[in-house]
Amino acid sequence: MAQEDVFKKIVSHCKEYGFVFPSSDIYDGLGAVYDYGQNGVELKNNIKQYWWQSMVLLHDNIVGLDSAVFMHPTVWKASGHVDAFNDPLIDNRDSKKRYRADVLIEDQIGKYEEKIEKEIAKARKRFGEAFDEAQFRSTNPRVLENEAKKTALHERFAKAMGAMDLAELKQIILDEEIACPISGTRNWTDVRQFNLMFKTEVGSTADGASTIYLRPETAQGIFVNYLNVQKTGRMKLPFGIAQIGKAFRNEIVARQFIFRMREFEQMEMQYFVKPGTELQWFEQWKQTRMAWHQALGFGAENYRFHDHEKLAHYANAASDVEFRMPFGFKEVEGIHSRTNFDLSQHAKYSGRKIEYFDPDTNESYTPYVIETSIGVDRMFLSVLCHAYQEEKLEGGDTRVVLKLPAALAPTKLAIMPLVKKDGLPEKAREIMDELKFHFNCKYDEKDSIGKRYRRQDAVGTPFCITIDHDTLTDGCVTLRDRDTMQQERIPVSELRTRLEDKVSITSLLKKLC
């Protein structure tokens, strides 16, 4: 099945099974805004918990914060967002569709990469075991040609973005003959800048009102609380502040479902370090974050780092963690070495001294910062894309199953009486009443057992138990595993110990230590 079709299926599966709904659905939705349904909110909460605990429980020098969405407007002046949080946009005159010029060019770079990968895959198939990828890359004329085009485009693009040369961005689009995916034409307008921050007003009267912004990132809430937390928590460098919260960006092109939203959630951690040690910490956080992703068991081959060559003006190193989505490798998380830019700017604009007194050296300085910034919704999408599978079963049937890591699954255990009589529902409820304090259980008595299994597979429930007539006498239930579909009889008294470890966030956290 084409990857595009797989993605469409995932999107409709999300709606059909209560994971993600378009916002204001009865009014036909609102562009790039989504609501999480009964299963989605559980999965999302589990992702957040996995992240939060990996930061705050596993590091005794990282503490949490929950800062407000609304902040003093000067925050965004100081951070540079008022002047520079812009995307270059371009319109196609025929389709009337608007695009981000940088994304059009990045997609074009991706096309060269795809061509190279295709050549390599073809050759690998042809040569089998004997295939030497490094040699093929350095000698095959088609690979070399595409590699040269990719590098040249990349360099030209990086230069144009660095200088925010809008005319040059347009020229690149024309020279590369990039066409609008809707109209197929190259009838482009000029490239213009567009600020991504949403504005609103505080104050009860129009006169007294002042313009404020919905935060486009949670990080600034951490920077402006650096002094509060450092002093009240008596934190010594290096230390981190972690926060999960909503962020808002007026994205020009809202595409790819929850990959790019106008209201989304971020999990950000700012790690304050001594100047001069930041690149060492940057490398360390890259590895720590990659280990966090890979502990989910989706396969190392589905992740890669993308180191930035073009750095934001405040950064001295930056790298993205990319995940293989059905629409290619895409950024899920950014790891940035932000120097002392933000704290120095806030010191300048607020007139406060924002420094750290180092008791070891008796000197004061502005700490440097390593940031790890991951989108909850993008993480959610990567988990779903990897988990969604259509399996052919013996006998010709297919089943749709979400192979979610058990610790992230919305429901851990479905509890099913075989029939709705003979005391089986009561027994099932009794088991549920005991287990519900330990993990998320769902009671289900409707339809045949086969149908109930399929329903649980479709929402990723890792385990089901069936209560039958024998349960009333032997105290055992049938435990069914989602992935292997194997069934076994086990005593009710053993359920908790057998399952708790497998379905808890702790099981994931232990892989990180």
Query: Residues interacting with ligand ATP, by CB under 6 A?
Result: 217, 249, 251, 260-261, 264, 266, 331-334, 373-375, 377-378
Smallest gap from Cβ 16 to ligand ATP, in A, equals 22
Closer by beta carbon to ligand ATP, 215 or else 412 = 215
Would you say 153 or 252 has its CB closer to ligand ATP?
Answer: 252
CA distance 59 to 200: 37
Distances (CA, A) of 41 to 26, 31, 47, 116, 248: 20, 20, 10, 40, 19
Nearer to ligand ATP, 260 or 346 (CB): 260
Least separation, in Å, of the C-beta of 86 and ligand ATP? Answer: 11
Strand order in the sheet with 441-443: 441-443, 413-417, 463-467, 476-481, 487-491
Minimum distance between the CB of residue 244 and ligand ATP, rounded to whole angstroms? 12
Query: Shortest distance, CB of residue 333 to ligand ATP, whole angstroms?
Result: 5
Least distance between ligand ATP and beta carbon 103 (Å): 8
251 vs 500, which CB is nearer to ligand ATP? 251
Nearer to ligand ATP, 113 or 251 (CB): 251
Chain center to CA of 74? 29
Q: Which of 378, 412 has the CB closer to ligand ATP?
A: 378
> Which amino acid is located at 293 in the chain?
H
Return the residue matching tokens 């007003």. Answer: 201
Q: List Cα–Cα distances, 113 to 79, 158, 309, in angstroms.
A: 35, 17, 17
Decide whether 55 or 415 has the Cβ nearer to ligand ATP. Answer: 55
Q: Which helix (H) or strand (E) holds 160?
A: helix 141-162
CA torsion, ordered 50, 54, 55, 57, to nearest 10 deg: 110
Nearer to ligand ATP, 266 or 471 (CB): 266
What are the angstrom distances between the C-alpha of 275 and each of 237, 294, 373?
A: 11, 30, 21
Tokens of 100: 């981000």
Say how far apart CA 354 and CA 489 lie, in whole Å.
Answer: 63
Angle of CA points 483, 486, 491, to nearest 5°? 115
Residue 510 CB, nearest distance to ligand ATP (Å)?
26
d(CA 113, CA 76): 37
CB of 441 to ligand ATP, least distance (A): 32
How far apart CA 365 and CA 246 sit, in angstroms, is: 31
Indicate the residue among 209 and 291 with the shorter CB distance to ligand ATP. Answer: 291
What one-letter code names the amino acid at 498? R
CB of 234 to ligand ATP, least distance (A): 30
In the complex, least distance from residue 208 CB atom to ligand ATP, rounded to whole angstroms: 32
Instruction: Please report how close the Cβ of residue 43 comes to ligand ATP at its closest, in angstroms.
Output: 16
Distance CA 165, CA 105 (A): 14
Contact 476, 470 (CB under 8 A): yes
Instruction: Tell me how far, at minimum, the Cβ of 20 lies from ligand ATP, in Å.
Output: 13
Closest CB to ligand ATP: residue number: 375
| Residue 379 vs 435, nearer CB to ligand ATP | 379
Q: In b/e form, how buried is each residue of 279-302, taking b as 16+ CB within 10 angstroms?
A: eebbeebbebbbebbbbbebeeeb
Q: Cα-atom radius of gyration of the chain, to the nearest Å?
A: 26
Q: Quick check: helix, strand or coil at residue 16?
A: helix
Which is nearer to ligand ATP, 261 or 385 (by Cβ)? Answer: 261
